[in-house]
Amino acid sequence: KQEVTQIPAALSVPEGENLVLNCSFTDSAIYNLQWFRQDPGKGLTSLLLIQSSQREQTSGRLNASLDKSSGRSTLYIAASQPGDSATYLCAVRNYGQNFVFGPGTRLSVLP
Amino acid sequence: NAGVTQTPKFQVLKTGQSMTLQCAQDMNHEYMSWYRQDPGMGLRLIHYSVGAGITDQGEVPNGYNVSRSTTEDFPLRLLSAAPSQTSVYFCASSYSFGGGGYTFGSGTRLTVV
């Protein structure tokens, strides 16, 4: 059974810092991995989707990498801003299976 | 392009009442699913559908019923609401069961008193 963990559970950084959020999964035979952002009281917004054949995806200040062999993905946020404050969730999908979600990392970027 | 639309956004029910949470997508996605999100429990899968006429149970299906008569719609029915069903409910869809990422609706916040 696929299990997804995210470290750290919470993170507080000053504005302008570069930061890394971690996602680990137990079954490396994944089909794709998706990073989401969730603001308090809101829905989930897709940030990046990485296919199993890809090593990384980039969107603006966000870069997500995937290392299937080690069961890890990282989300890199460059030059963080207060507007980046949210909970970030990682979700992993094996082929023919539903996405399995991690518990999330709650990020606070302080002005 | 509306994406995934959920209605209502908020609902208060009395214990024992029934209701239907609506979910519609306009992306011609084969796969649709329902999750509930509770503090400290994360997102848990209730039911999912891999295409019209096909549904299956997820992790926490008890007390909920679904059907998929069209590609676009995937309603979630609460048969007899209980306080334990107080939660935020999200509908998500993807191109297929094996492929594509999830697109989420904005959620329904349900309170059962």
The 10s digit of each residue's pLDDT in B42-66 is 899 999 999 999 999 999 999 999 9
For B68-91, how does the pLDDT look when each residue is reduced to its tens digit (9 = 90+)? Answer: 999 999 999 999 999 999 999 999
Q: In Å, how far is B6's CA from the nearest CA of chain A?
A: 11
Contact A99, A91 (CB under 8 A): yes
Model confidence at B98: pLDDT above 80: no
> Which of A42, A49, A96 lies closest to B97 in CB terms?
A96
* Residues 63-102, chain A, touching B (beta carbon < 8 A): 89, 91, 93, 95-96, 98-99, 101-102
For A52-103, how does the pLDDT look when each residue is reduced to its tens digit (9 = 90+)? Answer: 999 999 999 999 999 999 999 999 999 999 999 999 999 999 988 899 999 9
pLDDT of residue B8: 97
Q: How far is CA A26 from CA A3, B57, B90, in A?
A: 6, 23, 25
Neighbour count for residue B49 (Cβ, 10 Å): 21
Give yes or no for B89 touching A (CB within 8 A). no
Contact A104, A11 (CB under 8 A): no
Model confidence at B95: pLDDT above 70: yes
d(CA B103, CA B98): 14
Amino acid at B25: Q
Tokens of A18: 């570069």
d(CA B32, CA B100): 12
